[in-house]
Structure 1
Amino acid sequence: MVVKNSEVKIEYDPKNMQFRRLGSSGLRVPVFSLGGWLTFGGTVKGDPVKEIVKTAFENGKSYHQSINMIDLAEVYSNGESEREIGRVIEELGIRRSDLILTGKIFFGLGRKGPNDRGLSRKHIIEGVNETLERLRTDYVDIVFAHRPDPTVPMEEVVRAFNHVIETGKAFYWGTSEWSARQVEEAHHVASKLNLIAPISEQVQYHCLHRQRFESEYQYLFDKYNYGTTIWSALASGLLTGKYNDGIPKGSRFDTNPEFFKNTVESLSKEDGQKKIEKVKELTAFAEKELGCSVSNLALAWAASHPHASTVILGATKPE
């Protein structure tokens, strides 16, 4: 029987932190989780990483009752994000079973070999092995296919992730930035071969980017109760309101100019200006009508969707 997220919304609530089932699986994940994209091992290194993780975990009465999920990928800071988290977990003495760690495989570490990226069986298995070495652990809870790979047969992809699960190196597998059709194909192959299908999509979702989540994936929610781990709920910081009057010094767009070049350029165009105006309206509404920040409103909005399993947060400071 497929259990809907809406039927089991709250699993624990020690400090108002809800835990939800990740799709149709039995895995409970916090409504908000911690992500390492562009931060851990990149703009944030050393003791600050330790303080951020410690603060996230101490939000509840114990590690397993707070933000105990950390989302990572082999490509984040070229593997340094995983190394930082592996070191921090060891230094803080966190019990592995109190954690939910995720990894993502596709982009590799920038090496130029013909099999150093993509979703070949070779790269999936070797990539997972290297991730585990950097994390100093024996397994990740979920491993995601970071992108689809049309050059590899879907059967090979499904079999490779099943091998990772069967050898105890992951408990579940999922997808990231896959189309609904591609997810459906993976489920069809898994069903035909009596293998484990993916349980969750890592998807961009915020009030300025809604179509894929709310329309394209509805079929997956209805048929498979597909889970979601949401990234960019603040639109890369746009929904914090910090870019309402330009790009402030020290902001993400300022410190990562090449990475966000297209985004920054788009803000000067008509569509970008419309987005800024919408954020200004939301900022005024949040502050005057709700007494909260626009970022809090945006996060609550994303998390309130009945098919939102967890919303990934980035952090550069413990506070």
Structure 2
Amino acid sequence: MEYRRLGRTGLQVSAIALGSWATIGERLNDDASSALVAHAYDLGVTYFDTAETYADGRSEEVLGAALKRLRAPRESFVVSGKVFYGTHGRRPGSWGLSRKHIVEGCHATLRRTGLDHLDILLCHRFDPDVPLEETVRAMSDLVTRGDILYWGTSEWTVTQVAEARDIARARGHAPPQVEQLLYNVLERDKVEREFAPAAEGLGIGLTIWSPLAYGLLSGRYDHGVPADGRLARAGYEWLSASVFGTDPREETHRRLAAFSRLAAEHTVSPSRLALAWVLRHPAVASAICGASRPEHLSDNAGALDVVPLLDRTLLARIDALLGMPEPPPPRTEDKETTR
């Protein structure tokens, strides 16, 4: 395993992290979740990610129990949580980024996980209905109290993160230091055009979710949607529609199969090649992977060995097979936010 410093913090995280969305506490029962967490830790994975909204809090409970069963020293692993969506639907005060929900949501996460602090707490989305100063101060106060060690954001814009950073600077609050966002070989724009050029100036580290594009890049979707795949599960119709969009599905499957053949040429799995593509980016601190079986994690862990294979020739072939345009240059206004 490789360990990378998270932005300007002193925190080191494993380059591959274990996520819990739609698996731990939902698809996997307590015993299977514990086995998965233990296997991840044995592989050198020290970063575990969850959120209050995953399985309506059940994911946090099961992950916390798995970490307790692991009996690993608390200082040997990192846990990140997220606050915004809540666990009780959209009742007033039970979601969003008000001071009320941030504080109560954080404390509820600590109770569910059984931890005395979170290493990282992220604002799961931006809340336009709450003054940003209120959100920044609430997160900073949690740092001061020791309930969390670092705070950050997920799927915010560069401008929003910069505004939060500026408020923190002006008022002596703890600034955001992490942004978690979608990035994979099929979804590149927000990282490569916006955040990567601005990350150093903003003083934030990037963690990545869905590096395998919800499993599309695992090889299992090359010839259609498998019956046991996440995109075929009841309740995930919205995700399937979002992933496939308006493009003909046959064309998507053709491109995915071509990507798998390219991986086979280099005697690696498509998952390893896709994950290595993400990890090769110098701005990426950690890629958060979901898994339902230990062997999935073992395969993912081998991605770090594939990174050196990604020279210009191979990167160009990947782009050509997937029909991806060259990444656009960063916009001038993105550079302005780093000052």
TM-score (norm 2): 0.84
State the identity %: 37
Report the alpha carbon displacement of residue 266 of structure 1 after superposing the two structures with TM.
5.9
Q: Is the 8 A contact 1:184 1:220 kept in 2?
A: no
SS at match of 1:217: helix
Alignment partners' CA distance in 1, 2:281 and 2:80: 22
Q: Does 1:161 align with 2:139?
A: yes
How far off its partner does 1:249 sit? 1.7
CA distance in 2, matches of 1:185, 1:281: 42
Aligned-pair CA distance for 1:86: 1.3
Question: 2:150·2:176 contact (CA, 8 Å) conserved in 1?
Answer: yes
Q: 1:50 aligns with which of 12, 19, 34?
A: 34
Q: Give yes or no for contact 1:74–1:131 (8 Å, CA) kept in 2.
A: yes
Displacement, 1:94? 2.0
Work out whether 1:287 is the aligned partner of 2:264.
yes
Q: Deviations over 1:237-262 (max 9, x none)?
A: 1111211111112111122x332435
Q: Are 1:180 and 2:163 counterparts?
A: no
**Separation in structure 1 between the aligned mates of residue 16 and residue 127 of structure 2, nearest angstrom:** 29
Q: Identify which of 121, 127, 130 aligns with 2:108.
A: 130
Q: What's the TM-score once normalised by structure 1's chain length?
A: 0.89
Task: Please state how far the C-alpha of 1:111 moved relative to its aligned partner.
Answer: 3.8
- Name whichever of 19-28 and 83-92 sits farther off: 83-92
The Cα shift of 1:112 comes to 4.1
Is the counterpart of residue 33 in structure 1 residue 17 in structure 2?
Answer: yes
Q: Secondary structure at the match of 1:20?
A: strand
Deviation string, structure 1 residues 45-71 (Cα, Å, up to 9, x no partner): 111011101111112xxxxxx101100
* 3-state secondary structure, aligned to 1:316: coil
* 1:246 maps to amino acid: G
Distance 2:243 2:135 in 1: 35
Contact 1:267-1:276 at 8 Å conserved across structures = no
Report if aligned partners of 2:7, 2:200 keep a CA contact under 8 Å in 1.
no
Q: Is the 8 A contact 2:56 2:87 kept in 1?
A: yes
Residue number in structure 2 paired with 1:278: 255
* Deviation of 1:217 (Å): 1.2
Match of residue 279 from structure 2: 303
Q: Which amino acid aligns with 1:177?
A: E
What runs of 5+ residues in structure 2 fail to find an aligned partner? 296-339
Q: CA RMSD in A?
A: 1.5
- Would the aligned equivalents of 1:24 and 1:224 in 2 still touch at CA under 8 Å? no
Corresponding residue SS for 2:284: coil
Counterpart amino acid of residue 6 in structure 2: L
Using the alignment, how far apart are the partners of 1:265 and 1:82 within structure 2? 26
Which residue identity lines up with residue 195 of structure 1 in the other structure?
A: H
Contact residue 48 and residue 318 of structure 1 kept, 8 A? no
What SS does the corresponding residue of 2:17 show, helix, strand or coil? strand
Q: 2:255 and 2:177 mapped to 1: Cα distance? A: 34
* 1:83 alignment partner, SS class: helix
What is the SS of the residue equivalent to 1:103?
strand
Cα displacement (A) at 1:317: 1.2
Q: Residue type of the partner of 2:292? A: T
For residue 135 of structure 1, report the CA deviation from its aligned partner: 0.6
Shift in alpha-carbon separation, 1:285–1:267, aligned structure 2, 3 A: same
**Which has a greater percent of helix?**
2
> Which residue of structure 1 lines up, in the alignment, with residue 235 of structure 2?
258
Assess if the C-alpha contact under 8 Å between 1:173 and 1:198 holds in 2. yes
Residue 241 in structure 1 maps to residue 219 in structure 2? yes
